[in-house]
Structure 1
Amino acid sequence: MHSAIEQARGVTDHPVLTHLARVGLIAYGAVHLLIAFLAARMALGLQGADADQTGALQTVGAGPGGRVLLWAIGLGLLCLGLWQAGEVLLWWRGLLHPAHRRRTALVCAKCLAKGGVYAFLGTTALLFALGLEYEADERLPALTDDALRIPGGTAAVCLVAAGVVAVGLYTLVRGFTGGFMRDVDLPAAPDRWEPVIEGIGRIGYVAKGIAFGLVGVLLWRAATSADVTDATGLDGALTAIARVHAGPWLLAGIALGFAAFGIYALARARYPDRDPSS
């Protein structure tokens, strides 16, 4: 078992996979920059693709060489997911020791969760490259409606909503505390750039935390009121923000935050570190 895991680590630690993961981080940053662009258009009252991940991928696909770019984004993000999840192979021994089991389990869960997010977005990009497009804000209400019709469906949707809110709060905490800097190889980054990366990252994480928290709140409302029109993704959450009195200004702030997160992801691609517990 130890030998097999060491061989697997050799694959996930290979320089080629690390470089491909950097491509994935660049793609991840570019997607967030596109979301920021679409949110800014929404703030200006302009029509366009949904201001979420699927809208960003549709925008890429509609551009010159869009199909090739979607393949590159998808494969890069899948490699990024494998690279991130591969960190579990470094920490798994802690599960064998009762004193370190709980902390190690949390670290491994974070590695796998982050790897899963990258892999999901990469798979979505590949589906778009194959022409199998969909809009998240159209599918989510239908999925929620189906879930509410089965026994225990309301509790299940509430549980998912609570999980989304928890992710939003976790993202906010990382933004306020600067915990995201653990994902940057600080020794490799020039000292003069560290405060810049941290400042941009804080803005990006706070904006994402607020947006995801609102998605969870709307999903909770859909479950408790049985009105699936409240079940919406990121674009629907931004649309809800746009309806309030100061909506355009709030949307502009969210767009700035997502742009900041995109720039942070590009900086992380230059100085990547996948260790969530360092």
Structure 2
Amino acid sequence: MPSPLSSLRVRLADLGDRGRRHSSLLRRVPPLHDLLELAARVGYGARGFVYLSVGCLILLSAVDVVGDAVGTKGALDWLVLRPLGRLWVFLIGLGLAAFVLWRVLQSVFDADHEGVSGHGLRTRMSQGFSGLSYAGLAFAAFSLLVRAPDGDPAQEGVVRSQEQAATVLSLPFGNWLLAGVGLMILGIGVSNVVKAWREDFTEYLACSPRTCRRVAPLARAGHIARGLAYLPLAILVILAGLRSSARDVTSFGSALEAVERQPGGPWILMATALGFVAFGAFSFIEARFRRIRPPRDLKLD
């Protein structure tokens, strides 16, 4: 007996065939798997642009060219205030939405053919959580088209984080919930560092072995930088939960600023910035060379 998903696939395929037979315009539309591949590549490019922007802003902050360091949301706040900023942010939002679609196809429809083994399910679950985080970032990008930040993006990030922490603390067992959020952030950071050492980042790239060997260090440096950058924020959120104090919560960028004030902090911040730039660069490489395989249940042509 065919599954509901297979039945839906057959109906959509039949609908698409009938539409192409009766419309010359629809006959010019590329096959679905080509559209999905384009969406995925645009999404990787948008992710690369965001992290490249974050890395550059952190680097400029470390050498005191701009103000405080910012995270991904702060980078969008900064971009929207630049000339043609709304257009840039709109295009980034579209790209991130495309990337969210690709994450859904990876996690739900197993686009990478990870299977249902323990490792495969963990990978798909990680892709699903990644999709949720980028969905939030895409929503933030489109929100900026309606209301751009009025003041310093870094300070607005702190205020926004403290308001969210206060909302969590107002819930039953809110202090433990907030501490749990901090532990989740800590887990994300640690998992990125572990992934940097254990993952074969060239497995999904369709490039020559020589090129793959050259670009793999970018992915490792990027994941290490992302993982370590989460740790200061995680610690502050955990402490805020244990103390039941929303004022102890800060933003991603402000947590990095706290690191900069420590001995050797500027060098750590510069290394983090270069790691983010490396992650952005590797995202561009994925946009070009990643093997994009359409999920079997969505291949309509």
TM-score w.r.t. the length of structure 2 is 0.79
Consecutive unaligned residues in structure 1, runs of 5 or more? none
1:228 aligns with 2:246: yes
| Cα RMSD, aligned residues only | 2.8
Tell me if the contact between 1:197 and 1:264 (Cα under 8 Å) persists in the aligned partners.
Answer: yes
For residue 137 of structure 1, the aligned residue among 147, 155, 158 is 158
1:159 aligns with 2:180: yes
What residue in structure 1 maps to residue 80 of structure 2? 61
- Aligned pairs for 1:111-260 within 5 A: 111-133=127-149, 135-182=156-203, 185-186=204-205, 188-260=206-278
Tell me if the contact between 1:49 and 1:55 (Cα under 8 Å) persists in the aligned partners.
Answer: no
Comparing both structures, which one devotes a greater share of its residues to helix?
A: 1
Tell me if the contact between 2:90 and 2:141 (Cα under 8 Å) persists in the aligned partners.
Answer: yes
Tell me if the contact between 1:215 and 1:233 (Cα under 8 Å) persists in the aligned partners.
Answer: yes
1:112 deviation in Å? 1.6
What residue in structure 2 maps to residue 73 of structure 1? 92
What residue in structure 1 maps to residue 25 of structure 2? none
1:263 aligns with 2:281: yes
1:46 deviation in Å? 3.6
> Whose Rg is larger?
2
What residue in structure 2 maps to residue 2 of structure 1? 5
Task: Identify the range of structure 1 (154-163 vs 39-48) with the bigger mean alpha-carbon deviation.
Answer: 39-48
1:2 deviation in Å? 3.0
CA distance in 2 between counterparts of 1:105 and 1:145 reads 34
What residue in structure 2 maps to residue 40 of structure 1? 59
CA distance in 1 between counterparts of 2:68 and 2:263 reads 23
1:269 deviation in Å? 0.8
What residue in structure 1 maps to residue 105 of structure 2? 86
Task: Identify the range of structure 1 (83-92 vs 51-60) with the bigger mean alpha-carbon deviation.
Answer: 83-92
Identity %: 26
Tell me if the contact between 2:68 and 2:253 (Cα under 8 Å) persists in the aligned partners.
Answer: no
What secondary structure sits across from 1:14 in the alignment? helix
Does the C-alpha gap of structure 1 residues 50 and 13 become closer, same or farther in structure 2, counting only changes over 3 Å?
A: farther
Paired residue total = 267
What secondary structure sits across from 1:57 in the alignment? helix
Aligned AA (1:131): R
Tell me if the contact between 1:161 and 1:219 (Cα under 8 Å) persists in the aligned partners.
Answer: yes
1:209 deviation in Å? 0.2
1:28 aligns with 2:47: yes
